[in-house]
Amino acid sequence: GIAIQAIDLVKNYGTGSNMVHALRGVNVSFERGKFTAIMGPSGSGKSTLMHTLAGLDSATSGHILFGGADLTRMNDKQLTLLRRHKIGFIFQSFNLLPVFTAEQNILMPLTLAGDKPDRAWFDLLVETLGLKQRLNHRPNELSGGQQQRVAIARALITKPKLVFADEPTGNLDSVSSAEVLGFLKRSVNELGQTIVMVTHDAVAASYADRAIVFSDGRIVADEQHPNAEVMN
């Protein structure tokens, strides 16, 4: 089945002669349980697509179908609930809260929603991501790779079916990148999650089941089983 689908999605920024056409009528669907990479040059619309699909940013026109509903018809309250319960977002900059420990950061989405953690799921995430010995550390006491893994655990703690990752390995060395990508791939294979990841890196894209390439607000290539050589 399809996890999320964009139909004729248009996003313009600004008005008049300053208008930027970030998405020029994008049609794409993402299959459930698949890991898709989105590639393309800087400024081609990758982040805009992800932010729009995740309900972080509104579309100019078009439709986004998710679980039988159209995101473009939802109000802010509905979008907040959707992001809280159904969609996970992993940012390149981690966005961890510095005064809180790793554990508190991971649990933050539940804390904010007033929901109780599923301890077994928390333990599994922490174990799988190799964070067990780091739970009482604050972000500045963790390496970049550890911080990104905390951010991943935080994105997954609510068990979202759909996860967006914006350059999740952009700030990591190659060893940490491989760990993070390996985890995302396993999370797709073992938990049936749908992951959409923006990346510049052909090696990172080679972990995905599919790679979509953007250019100037349009999809210009769509490859199954991308390998690093082809994508470069």
Neighbour-count burial for 95-121, b at 16+ CB within 10 Å, e otherwise: ebeeeebbbbbbbebbeeeeeebeeee
Stretch that binds ligand ADP, among 38-46, 74-82, 87-95, 170-178 (CB under 6 A): 38-46
Between 132 and 159, CB nearer to ligand ADP: 159
Between 48 and 206, CB nearer to ligand ADP: 48
The yes or no reply on residue 97 touching ligand ADP (CB under 6 A) is no
The yes or no reply on residue 161 touching ligand ADP (CB under 6 A) is yes
The CB-side HSE value for 146 (13 A sphere, CA atoms) comes to 17
Among 8, 13, 123, 228, binds ligand ADP (CB under 6 A): 13
Q: What is the DSSP string of 87-137?
A: EEEE-TT----TTS-HHHHHHHHHHHHTPPP-HHHHHHHHHHTT-GGGTT-
The separation between the first and the last C-alpha atoms of the chain, rounded to the nearest angstrom, is 30
Among 36, 48, 101, 199, binds ligand ADP (CB under 6 A): 48
The CB-side HSE value for 125 (13 A sphere, CA atoms) comes to 22
Q: What is the DSSP string of 36-47?
A: EEEE--TTSSHH
The yes or no reply on residue 162 touching ligand ADP (CB under 6 A) is no
**2-13 and 61-66: which strand pairing?**
antiparallel
The yes or no reply on residue 193 touching ligand ADP (CB under 6 A) is yes
The yes or no reply on residue 20 touching ligand ADP (CB under 6 A) is yes
Number of residues near ligand ADP (by CB under 6 A): 17
Cα 171 to Cα 144: distance, rounded to the nearest angstrom: 7
The yes or no reply on residue 109 touching ligand ADP (CB under 6 A) is no
Between 97 and 113, CB nearer to ligand ADP: 113
The yes or no reply on residue 47 touching ligand ADP (CB under 6 A) is yes
Q: How far is the CB of 80 from ligand ADP (least distance, A)?
A: 19
Residue ranges in contact with ligand ADP by CB under 6 A: 13-14, 20, 22, 40, 42-48, 159, 161, 191-193
